[in-house]
Amino acid sequence: MVRDITIGQYYPAKSVVHRLDPRVKLVSTLLYLISLFLFRSISGYLVATIFLVTVIRISRVPFSFIVRGLKPVVLLLMITVLFNLFLTRSGDVLFHAWIITITEGGLVTAVYMAVRLIYLIIGSSLMTFTTTPNELTDGIEALLHPLNKIRVPVHEVAMMMSIALRFIPILLEETDKIMKAQIARGADFESGNIIQRAKSMIPILVPLFVSAFRRANDLAMAMEARCYRGGEGRTKMKPLHYKHRDYTAYAIVIIYVIAVFAIGRYLPLHIWIF
């Protein structure tokens, strides 16, 4: 089950996208997500599609892997599509039966919405596929660095993120072991109403919390023993430096955003089959 979720995973490959500075990828992803809301025309979608497909090809992440990442959100997608399909009333009526009415406007909005959501998810997961969790936290730390001035503990937050990333798999595995140990003692997690089920989680949650606190305590000690004393005076093993390719990437993304914006503004082409 847990293994099926590919969102947030790293996909190791040797590509230019993988080698880009994490800051470039974070900023670009953000810009791409914003760009998806700048247009309402098919030409806009065309540009966004070409851009996305090109980046996927360059990144060398297999398309099937990306599609697999969409599986867990299929239900959410369907709900959005159906809502838009049935509740938007504009333009010609295409279909009517009983209380169901589908209009041209509804169909268009539904399709647009679905595509937009899919691109949104693919766009952001492409970032995590091509960036290791560590690079990601380094990138976030560097980008948020100015917030240090208003006393936001940026380094500490980034450190917490990377520790969380390291311990999530360990705690998941531990949860599995605890569940098995309690099932062996006759615990039942599957039957009963919501309250009974919530109660049946206690035998899992208590050992899990006790263990998590113990780990936290051990880890804090180990970090202190290795002379950790916060971000001050600390050097970096992998400092972030913009390279030539990073500036090129920024330029391309900016050109893309301008293009999408211009098309949305000046070229509102509507080519419809109906």
Partner 1 sequence: MDMVQTEKLVFEYEKRDEEGNVIGVSRAVDEVDIDVQEGQFIAILGHNGSGKSTLAKHINAILVPTQGTMWVNGRNTKDPEELWNVRQSAGMVFQNPDNQIIGTVVEEDVGFGPENLGVPTDEIWQRVEDSLRSVGMIEYRHHSPNKLSGGQKQRVAIAGVVAMEPKCIVLDEPTAMLDPVGRREVLKTVQKLREQKKVTVILITHYMEEVVDADKIYVMDHGHVVMEGTPREIFSRVDELKSYRLDVPQVTLLADELRKRGLKIPDGILKKEELVEALCQLN
Partner 2 sequence: MSIKLEHLNYVYSQGTAYEKKALNDICIEIPHGEFVGIIGHTGSGKSTLIQHLNGLIRATSGELYYNGENIYREGYSMRGLRNEVGLVFQYPEHQLFEIDVMTDVCFGPKNQGLSADQCKERALEALRLVGLKEKYYNVSPFELSGGQKRRVAIAGVLAMRPKVLVLDEPTAGLDPKGRDDILDQIAYLHRESDITVILVSHSMEDVAKYADRLIVMNKGAVMYNDEPKRVFEHYQELEKVGLAAPQVTYIMHDLAGRGIPVRTDVTTVAEAADEILRAVGS
Least Å distance, CB 187 to partner 2, is 6
Query: What character string, x for contact with partner 1 (CB under 8 A) and - otherwise, covers 226-255?
Result: xxxx---xxxxxxx----------------
CB of 67 to partner 1, least distance (A): 25
Query: In the bound complex, what is the minimum distance in angstroms from residue 56's beta carbon to partner 1?
Result: 24
Q: Is 187 in the site for partner 2 (CB under 8 A)?
A: yes
What pairs with residue 95 in β-bridges?
102
CB of 69 to partner 2, least distance (A): 15
Residue with Cβ nearer partner 2 (170 or 183):
183
Measured distance CA(102)–CA(92) in Å, rounded: 9
Is residue 93 involved in binding partner 2 (CB under 8 A)? no
Work out what residue 233 binds among partner 2, partner 1, none; the CB cut-off runs from 5 to 8 Å by kind: partner 1
Q: Which two tokens stand for residue 159?
A: 């450190």
Residue 161: CB minimum distance to partner 1, A: 11
Cα–Cα distances (Å) from 199 to 203, 207, 213, in that order, read 8, 14, 22
Q: Is 180 in the site for partner 1 (CB under 8 A)?
A: no
Q: Kindly state whether residue 162 participates in binding partner 1, applying the rule CB under 8 A.
A: yes
Q: Does 53 bind partner 1 (CB under 8 A)?
A: no
Q: Cβ 112 to partner 2, closest distance in Å? A: 35
Binding mask 112-151 for partner 1 (x = CB under 8 A): --------------------xxx-----------------
Residue among 113, 117, 174, 240 that touches partner 2 (CB under 8 A): 174
- What, of partner 1, partner 2, none, does residue 64 touch, CB below 5 to 8 Å by kind? none
Contact 142, 236 (CB under 8 A): no
Exposed e or buried b per residue across 80-92, where buried means at least 16 C-beta atoms within 10 angstroms of its C-beta: bbeebbeebeeee
Q: Residue 95 or 189: which CB sits closer to partner 2?
A: 189
Q: Is 210 in the site for partner 1 (CB under 8 A)?
A: no
158-191 residues labelled b (16+ CB within 10 A) or e (exposed): bbebbbeeeeeeeeeebbeebbeebeeeebeeee
Least spacing, CB of residue 62 vs partner 1, in Å: 21
User: Site residues (CB under 8 A) for partner 1?
Assistant: 132-134, 162-163, 165-166, 169-170, 214-215, 218-219, 221-229, 233-239
User: Site residues (CB under 8 A) for partner 2?
Assistant: 3, 174, 177-178, 180-188, 202-203, 206-207, 210-211
